[in-house]
Amino acid sequence: MRNAFLRTAVGAGLVLVLAACGGDPTESTTGGGAAAGGDTIKVGLLHSLSGTMAISEVTVRDAELLAIEEINAAGGVLGKKLEPVVEDGASDWPTFAEKANKLISQDKVATVFGGWTSASRKAMLPVFERHKALLWYPVQYEGLESSPYIFYTGATTNQQIIPGLDYLKEQGKTKIFLVGSDYVFPRTANKIIKAYAAANGMTILGEEYTPLGHTEYSTLTNKVVQAKPDAVFNTLNGDSNVAFFKQLKSAGVTAESMPVLSVSVAEEEVTGIGVDNIVGHPVAWNYYQTTENAANTKFVAAFKAKYGDAKVTSDPMEAGYNAVYLWAEAVKKAGTTEVEAVKKASGGIALERPEGLVTIDGETQHMYKTARIGIIQPDGLIKEVWNSGEPIKPDPYLKSYPWAGSLAS
């Protein structure tokens, strides 16, 4: 009897645990009601709220919720309020596909804002294409993709990685060591970097990958130090950055002796890494909390008012925040939430955003964005030291770069 009881208790406990992982029920509104009908327009927010990616994705969801709140306060879209339906992708790519399916088929949302890792986007892509539904993807990525049912509000490679290389070249750093996590984004990024280096007289001294979640960097640090590069191009993702920078610092590497340019470290990550360990190193993005313009002052103030003074704003958060506004603008222009009409209306929409002017490129459904290189400051914020001067036309397949000819295939 006792054993049977315990077994039931444990079973129930496990179910509870799994349910807890599946997402906060209070945040998720389910049930019928078509997007077009009723007094509200449902929009889906699909990010990892649990698991290893929650660290980053929760902040993007927060920014998207803020945008929805602001749009509703200003009267909503087409006279209707937006109603967020929040789902948890749980850092698990099949779950992303499944939840995307649920949002589209069951909740009948007008559009979905979601994803972070390229793997989650690749998992969701067929779902959105099959249902002819819209996904707004807010993170810089490796390019070489242009789905008709995805809008990419983060940077593609020619708006982040290539400007990063331009910056290193301008600084006279020609011997580069590549360090990245072992998955699609870093490997593709490094292919592009190698092609760029070959065409621009730069040398790649080494190329090293570590599994996601890797935390032992002493050997890799030794290899980097022995190779004596001018700079390191870092495409590590997630918690690995913390271990990498801590161990680099204790091996005596400083930003002066060997700058490490990162493309996945933003304001959010700096605290976890420890400012001490990363101060002075450069990063490449399109937006920083310190970017100066009226739209950003308003965004930062609103974000801190809603989520607390200690919170910082970062590039992916800003791209998620923009996505909601850009979609709302396209819906207003189209006069409907119907997907094909929204897609058609979206081309050429230009908004002054916290990162500066953002224009939707109708052809690729990517954005014109200004590239910015920043240096990490002792207070944990990032100060811009270089920018591309004007928004760069998105070129996900790098068709306008002669040296990149072999990459697109």
Site size toward other proteins, by CB under 8 A: 47
CA angle, 170 then 172 then 174, to 5°: 110
The stretch among 106-114, 137-145, 217-225, 322-330 that binds other proteins (CB under 8 A) is 217-225
Tell whether residue 8 is a contact of other proteins (CB under 8 A). no
Q: How far is the CB of 210 from other proteins (least distance, A)?
A: 4
3-class SS at 387? strand
Q: How far is the CB of 354 from other proteins (least distance, A)?
A: 21
Of 41, 66, 109, 220, the residue at the interface with other proteins (CB under 8 A) is 220
The stretch among 15-23, 77-85, 153-161, 280-288 that binds other proteins (CB under 8 A) is 15-23
* Interatomic CA distance for residues 318 and 290, integer angstroms: 12
Q: How far is the CB of 233 from other proteins (least distance, A)?
A: 16
Q: Which DSSP category does 395 fall into?
A: -
* Interatomic CA distance for residues 85 and 286, integer angstroms: 28
Tell whether residue 222 is a contact of other proteins (CB under 8 A). yes
Short-list 301, 295, 397, CA closest to 354: 295
Tell whether residue 406 is a contact of other proteins (CB under 8 A). no
Tell whether residue 239 is a contact of other proteins (CB under 8 A). yes
Residue type, 212: L
Tell whether residue 19 is a contact of other proteins (CB under 8 A). no
Of 22, 51, 76, 347, the residue at the interface with other proteins (CB under 8 A) is 51
Query: Would you tell me how many other CB atoms lie within 10 Å of the CB of residue 132?
Result: 12
DSSP 141-166: -------TTEEE-S--GGGTHHHHHH
Short-list 403, 394, 347, CA closest to 145: 394
CB-based contact 136:260 (threshold 8 Å): no
Q: Which is nearer to other proteins, 54 or 342 (CB)?
A: 54
Residue type, 133: A
Cα–Cα distance list, 393 to 327, 350, 404 (Å): 19, 13, 16
Site for other proteins in 269-328 (CB under 8 A): 269, 271-276
Query: Would you tell me how many other CB atoms lie within 10 Å of the CB of residue 206?
Result: 16
The stretch among 209-217, 337-345, 367-375, 395-403 that binds other proteins (CB under 8 A) is 209-217
Q: How far is the CB of 95 from other proteins (least distance, A)?
A: 15
Q: How far is the CB of 270 from other proteins (least distance, A)?
A: 9
Q: How far is the CB of 75 from other proteins (least distance, A)?
A: 33
Q: Which is nearer to other proteins, 175 or 332 (CB)?
A: 175
* Interatomic CA distance for residues 312 and 234, integer angstroms: 22
Name the phi and psi angles at 18, rounded to 5: -65, -40
Name the phi and psi angles at 367, rounded to 5: -110, 150
Tell whether residue 385 is a contact of other proteins (CB under 8 A). no
Q: How far is the CB of 25 from other proteins (least distance, A)?
A: 14
The stretch among 126-134, 247-255, 315-323, 326-334 that binds other proteins (CB under 8 A) is 247-255
Q: Which is nearer to other proteins, 58 or 302 (CB)?
A: 58
Burial of residue 70, with CB atoms counted within 10 A of its CB: 0-12 exposed, 13-18 middle, 19 or more buried = middle
Contact partners, residue 172, CB within 8 Å, separation at least 6: 230
CA atoms within 13 A on the CB side of 148: 9
Q: How far is the CB of 243 from other proteins (least distance, A)?
A: 5
H-helix or E-strand spanning residue 284: strand 282-285
Tell whether residue 214 is a contact of other proteins (CB under 8 A). yes
The structure tokens listed for 155 are 């940077």
Of 29, 40, 52, 171, the residue at the interface with other proteins (CB under 8 A) is 52
Query: Would you tell me how many other CB atoms lie within 10 Å of the CB of residue 30?
Result: 11
Q: How far is the CB of 202 from other proteins (least distance, A)?
A: 22
Tell whether residue 87 is a contact of other proteins (CB under 8 A). no
Q: How far is the CB of 225 from other proteins (least distance, A)?
A: 8
Query: Would you tell me how many other CB atoms lie within 10 Å of the CB of residue 121?
Result: 23
Q: How far is the CB of 27 from other proteins (least distance, A)?
A: 14
Site for other proteins in 129-188 (CB under 8 A): 182
Q: Which is nearer to other proteins, 38 or 252 (CB)?
A: 252
The structure tokens listed for 175 are 């011997």
Q: Which residues bind other proteins (CB under 8 A)?
A: 6-7, 10, 13-14, 17, 20-21, 50-52, 54-55, 58-59, 182, 208-211, 213-216, 218-220, 222-223, 226, 239, 242-243, 246-247, 249-252, 268-269, 271-276
